Structure formats: C-alpha cells, structure tokens
C-alpha cells in the first residue's frame, strides 16, 4: 500500500490540488489523527471559481484511475475523472452544477484494468436498499435545542449515574399500516412514540441497533457498508438528528451499536476497495472472519484507524449521540478468534493478542475522553480480558462500561431451571458478585438472547403460564438489585411470546392482556424504584454498595441482600424467592435496629401513600449472621424491596 512518509508536520497549512484539502490535512490523515477527516473526504457542497457544485474526495491508493459517476453524468466512468494528490492516495474532483440529493459512486479502475463501482465510504446518506448508491447531502444547519442535555452530559459521571437501557431495533419495534418502505416508522415518527413509551416505563437510555447503513436486514445492522450514513430505511440524516434532539429534550439518552470489528464483502462496499485489500488485512488469516464471512479492519494502517476513530467522533459530535456500544470486541482482541489451529497469525511475541487492535482501542477511547464530550464507550466483550474499563495509562483499554456476558449466561441458565433443581445451582446467581467490581459492568438481556431458538424471555421460564410470569418478575427483580447498569431488549418487558424477528413488529396487543400488562407494570415499577434510589446505581463498582444478607439459602432458593448509596443512609433490602413455595413467616436478618418499609413487591407492585403498607421494626434476634431480624409473609416466587435508614 502507498504509505505517507513519517515526516514532521508542515510548518504552515499549504493548499494542494483544488485547495479543499491542505498539506496539513494530508499529513494528519497519514498519521491517523485527522479527527475531522469526514469534512474533507466524501462529497461536500462547495463553490469553486465562482461556480456552485459538489466536491468529491476518496482514498484509493492502489487505483490506476478514479472517476465520479452518477445520474448527473449518465454513470460514465470517463465523464468526471478525479485527480490524485501526491503521496497521499487521495483522489479529488469538483463537479459544478451537482446539487443535493444526487445518486453517485466512485468508478475505480484497478491496476488490472477492471472498473469497480464503489459507494463512498464517507457518504452521509445512502440509497434505500436494494439500491447501493451514495447520495449527496449536507448535514450542516440543523437547529439543535438540546444544549441543557449536552452540558449536563459533559459534567456527569456515568459510572455513578442511573442507566436503564431499552434496546431497540427501530424497524421491528412498531410498523405503520402503509406500503412505503415496508411500513417502517420514520425517525421523526418513532421519536415521539418511543420517547413516550420509554419515559412512561422509566428507562433512562435507548440503545439503537443497526443505524449505520447496511444492505441486508438479516444482519440486524452488524454488517455495515455506510459507516457515516444513518440508514435511509427510516429517513434522512437530519431526520435522525431530529430523533436524537427530541429524545434528549425528553431526558432520554441515545446509545448506538457501532461495528469497528468487521465489514461485509458486498461489491459496493469496503472490501478490496481499490482492487486490493485496503481497509482489511491482506493476509486472509487475519483479514477474514471464517464464521461470519466478513472482512476484518486492518488496525495497522493509520488511515484505517483514522476512518474509524473519526467515525466514532462523528456520531458523538455531529449527531449528539451519548454513547457507542462497540460490537464484537473479543473478535478484535484475539487473533485466533473463531479460527482453527494453523489458520491464524500470532503476534511478534508468539501470542494470540492483536496488539494493533489493543492500541486502536486505547487511542479511540482516549480521543473520545480527551474531546470532553461526556460520551460513553461500551464494550461487548465476552471473555475475561483484564482491564477493559481501566484507563489506558493503567494498562486498560479505556472503555466506560463492559457488557457482563458472564452474569447473563449464569442468570439465564438458572432461570430456565425447574425450581426443584435450582437448589443445586444456587451459585449461578451468587458467582457474579465475586467479580462485580472488577469492571464497570452493564447487566444485559439483549436481542442475542431471544433469537435463534433461544426463546423469548417469558418462554425461557419454567412452569405453566402464571408461573412463567411470576418467575420472570423474580428474575427481573434480582437483576435490578444486582450491581451493574441494566439493559433489556424490546418486547421482553411485557412478555413477548415469540422470538424476536426483525421482519415483523412486536406483538403489542399482548400488552393489553392481564398477565402481560401486569408484568409490564411491574417492570416499570422496578425501573422507577431504580431511578429514585441512588443505592441501586451510585456504588455499582464499589464493594461498599452491596452486602449479602444470605447468599447460602440454596435449599429454599431465596436470596437476600442490601444495596447502599454513598451516604449509607438510604439503603434497600431485597428478598427474592425463586420457588413456588410460600414462606408465611419468613425471617430475614438485618444489620441494624430500625423500621423496614416495603416499597415494592410482586403481589401489590409499588406501594404508594400507605396503600397495602407494610413495615416492620427489627428486633434484637440473630438471623442470617446479623444481630437483628424481622419476619413477614413471603409468597411463592415472592419478591420484596424494603427501604431503611
């Protein structure tokens, strides 16, 4: 590949070529530190020599020639040739008269004389599938009015703030009864209904799947061809800005799934972009995922790292996104991930760690933090890699949070068991506490757990219909009390029966049926309790925030524990029964004398103004290794949350 020479930065910014890209731009891009490179590469409306038109620039260092093609020139590869900028691999062209909303691609002539028609890697808008062209667009000029939210975001510490995430696939959350774009809601339509639902339920954030442009619905947006383009399935870039702006004004944060691990082989995409491996590793033992049939980004190339890091900043700064959940982190960290013996390349130390990906993550997360955006970086990392959320200067990767995949696996294995067998698997629910402070965790029950014959959450539960709902209430209560932020996939809060299918809407009619409506109300109550009491989020990563009362009551499958806030004065006691056996006079140990007031249980829901009120004064009576205790009736599959000082 043509590489930029490692020279000192130019003393002065010098215009080269048409003058839109300077010598400094070229230098920074070659160093991998041009964090606004999307303002230079791609398509941008400009005026040149008094004529209005469109400026195009693309990085294609292996190309023999490059041209711009579109409706405006009959898709003729020779109609608008681009000029190379020396020693940079960048080609540029200005085409007068081209305005916004035009379809275009780059016609790249390879060294072998083949012509490849490629979508613009930096395009901010793309054609609705099955079309594959880029669209000229200007994302400047949107009038944001979420300044209060953005200012608060900069000052907040997300680790010590509440975060209850609603994971959403917009295309199947709801559908309209209309033929346009298969009934998809637009960004603007979804903003209003989604904000209302999220606010009413008590979630703090929405995490969106599949917003970057992708050609295949069945990939759920995890095989991206347009990293800078909000998918046209739901509208334009400015309509997506409206979506974010509206949710922010309603006090709701936005997290996007982001995929820097791999990309598909579609002909119009990044694969072999200029006739040779460019964005991907050239060696297929590093450059291809055998399980997924995709290409792997080459983290050794500065320009590729620049493409990705600038893309992360693009979403955070230009679209005001509050966080990025980084998909498939483990696949990036391990050179042998998904590869058999002999089909992977060790690093220079003979190990399976991808040193280039490690450096990329540290660079990426340092930049996001250094720009003082207040945005979160969340790792979907499925192994025991140490220090995922530790700062780079301490040898960590620098993420804000890590998905707790170990907790999720143990939790679901336990919840699927017939209650009789739970006593033999009690440790599955207690083990997560042993490492709860090793990282800043998010407890996740995501889309991956309700597809591919894994069953929906309600259908994972044992027993007949009523038992299933009681089981799920108990499980959700345990999750809400366990240290770590929370994430639940759409439809699971009202007990969606069938597995998630990206092609159809959720079965919203179920939310009007008694058992489903009751579950939805109970989960909403949990969310409102969660937001109200700092004990449930202020010390998630601190041992002072959690105390077992009884972690060893396996024979009865009952768990009891305390959550504390920073003051130590507004504490919560959780008691959860995972069997269908009622304990009419259940005694629980507590550390201090005082009044314990029931604020939520699975029979009555949220206690308001004394309705169904129950409180108990603890007595000097040893129980569960504690000096005080009190007794109360614990129903079958019963849950109870008490507040006390």
Q: Which active-site residues does the annotation give?
A: 327, 380
Residue 362 near residue 398 (C-beta atoms within 8 A)? yes
C-beta atoms surrounding 342 within 10 Å = 6
Residue 335 near residue 345 (C-beta atoms within 8 A)? yes
Residue 173 near residue 505 (C-beta atoms within 8 A)? yes
- Strand residues in 270-320 grouped as ranges (E): 288-289, 294-296
Contacts of 37 (CB under 8 A, 6+ apart): 25, 28, 29, 122, 306, 307, 310
Please name the helix (run of DSSP H) or strand (run of DSSP E) that holds residue 45, with its range, or none.
strand 42-48
d(CA 572, CA 535): 7
d(CA 478, CA 71): 58
The angle subtended at Cα 626 by Cα 620 and Cα 627, nearest 5°, is 25
Residue 624 near residue 614 (C-beta atoms within 8 A)? no
Euclidean distance between the first and the last CA atom of the chain, given in angstroms as a whole number: 66
Half-sphere exposure of 493 (CA within 13 A, CB side): 26
Residue 155 near residue 521 (C-beta atoms within 8 A)? no
Q: Of 201, 205, 38, 31, which is closest to residue 124 (Cα–Cα)?
A: 38
d(CA 184, CA 235): 10
d(CA 600, CA 615): 12
């Amino acid at each position: 590949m043509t590489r930029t020479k490692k020279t000192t930065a130019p003393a002065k910014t010098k215009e080269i070529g048409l003058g839109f890209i300077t010598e400094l731009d070229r230098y920074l891009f070659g160093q991998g530190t041009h964090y606004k490179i999307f303002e230079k590469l791609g398509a941008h409306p400009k005026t040149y020599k008094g004529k209005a038109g469109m400026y195009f620039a693309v990085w294609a260092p292996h190309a023999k020639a490059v041209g711009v093609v579109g409706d405006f020139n009959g898709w003729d590869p020779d109609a608008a040739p681009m000029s190379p900028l020396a020693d940079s691999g960048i080609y540029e062209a200005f085409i007068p008269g081209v305005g916004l909303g035009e379809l275009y691609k780059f016609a790249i002539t390879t060294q072998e004389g083949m012509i490849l028609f490629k979508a613009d890697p930096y395009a901010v808008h793309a054609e609705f599938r099955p079309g594959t062209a880029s669209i000229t667009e200007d994302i400047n000029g949107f009038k944001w009015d979420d300044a209060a939210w953005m200012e608060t975001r900069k000052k907040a510490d997300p680790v010590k703030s509440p975060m209850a995430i609603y994971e959403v696939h917009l295309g199947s959350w709801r559908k309209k009864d209309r033929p346009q774009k298969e009934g998809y809601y637009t960004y603007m339509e979804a903003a209003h209904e989604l904000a209302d639902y999220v606010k009413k339920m008590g979630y703090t954030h929405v995490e969106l799947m599949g917003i970057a442009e992708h050609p295949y619905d069945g990939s759920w947006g995890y095989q991206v061809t347009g990293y800078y383009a909000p998918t046209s399935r739901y509208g334009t870039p400015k309509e997506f800005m409206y979506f974010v702006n509206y949710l922010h004004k309603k006090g709701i944060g936005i997290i996007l799934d982001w995929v820097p691990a791999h990309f598909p082989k579609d002909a119009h995409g990044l694969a072999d972009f200029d006739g040779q491996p460019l964005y991907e590793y050239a060696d297929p033992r590093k450059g291809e995922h055998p399980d997924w049939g995709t290409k792997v980004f080459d983290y050794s190339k500065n320009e590729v790292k620049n493409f990705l890091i600038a893309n992360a900043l693009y979403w955070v700064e230009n679209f005001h996104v509050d966080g990025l959940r980084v998909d498939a982190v483990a696949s990036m960290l391990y050179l042998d991930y998904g590869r058999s013996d002999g089909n992977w390349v060790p690093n220079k130390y003979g190990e399976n760690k991808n040193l280039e990906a490690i450096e990329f993550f540290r660079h990426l997360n340092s930049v996001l933090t250094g720009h003082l955006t207040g945005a979160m970086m969340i790792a979907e990392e499925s192994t025991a890699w140490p220090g995922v959320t530790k700062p780079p200067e301490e040898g960590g990767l620098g993420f804000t949070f890590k998905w707790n995949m170990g907790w999720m696996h143990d939790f679901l294995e336990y919840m699927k068991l017939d209650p009789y067998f739970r006593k033999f698997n009690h440790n599955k629910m207690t083990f997560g506490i042993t490492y709860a402070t090793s990282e800043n965790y998010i407890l996740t029950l995501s889309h991956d757990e309700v597809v591919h014959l894994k069953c929906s959450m309600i259908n994972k539960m044992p027993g007949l219909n009523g038992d299933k709902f009681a089981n799920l209430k108990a499980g959700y209560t345990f999750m809400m009390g366990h240290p770590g932020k929370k994430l639940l996939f759409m439809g699971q809060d009202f007990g969606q029966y069938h597995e998630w299918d990206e092609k159809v809407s959720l079965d919203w009619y179920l939310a009007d049926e008694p058992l489903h409506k009751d579950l939805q109300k109970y989960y909403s109550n949990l969310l409102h309790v969660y937001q109200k009491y700092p004990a449930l989020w202020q010390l998630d990563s601190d041992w002072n925030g959690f105390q077992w009362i009884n972690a060893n009551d396996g024979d009865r499958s009952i768990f009891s524990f305390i959550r504390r806030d920073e003051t130590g004065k507004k504490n919560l006691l959780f008691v959860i029964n995972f069997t269908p056996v009622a304990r009419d006079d259940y005694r629980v140990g507590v550390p201090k004398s005082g009044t314990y007031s029931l604020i939520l249980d699975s029979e009555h829901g949220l206690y308001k103004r004394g309705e169904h009120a129950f409180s108990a004064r603890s007595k000097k009576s040893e129980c569960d290794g504690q000096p005080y205790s009190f007794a109360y009736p614990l129903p079958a599959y019963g849950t109870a949350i008490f507040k006390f000082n």
